[in-house]
């Protein structure tokens, strides 16, 4: 039983019919919802990532942001790379 079963019963009792071109299509749509396309989730929804904050001089941050414009890398990628290099040097 779906949440629209009551509407189906009302339609049958009132004698209303679906147009033949869509007959049955609505019932199939309710039973089998279309699958969402597999999209890559962002870092915010990815449990492997943790949001952090840090105080960085404004002028330094602006210079870095300008350098990253038009590149496929973003600030968090750059920061992650720097952090990994720092740990490797320890």
Beta carbons of 68 and 61 less than 8 angstroms apart = no
Distances (CA, A) of 35 to 29, 38, 39: 11, 9, 12
Domain range summary for the chain, segments of one domain joined by +: 1-31, 60-88
Q: What is the pLDDT of residues 71-86, one digit of tens each?
A: 998 999 999 999 999 9
Q: How far apart are CA 88 and CA 90, in angstroms?
A: 6
Model confidence pLDDT, tens digit, residues 41-74 = 889 899 999 999 999 999 999 999 999 999 998 9
């Amino acid at each position: 039983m779906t949440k629209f079963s009551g509407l189906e019963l009302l339609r049958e009792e009132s004698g209303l019919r679906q147009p033949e071109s869509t007959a049955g299509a609505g019932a199939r749509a309710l039973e089998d919802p279309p699958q969402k396309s597999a999209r890559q989730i962002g870092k915010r929804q990815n449990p492997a990532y943790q949001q952090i904050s840090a105080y960085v001089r404004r002028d330094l941050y602006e210079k870095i942001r300008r350098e990253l414009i038009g590149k496929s890398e973003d600030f968090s990628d750059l920061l992650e790379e720097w952090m990994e290099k720092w740990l490797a040097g320890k």
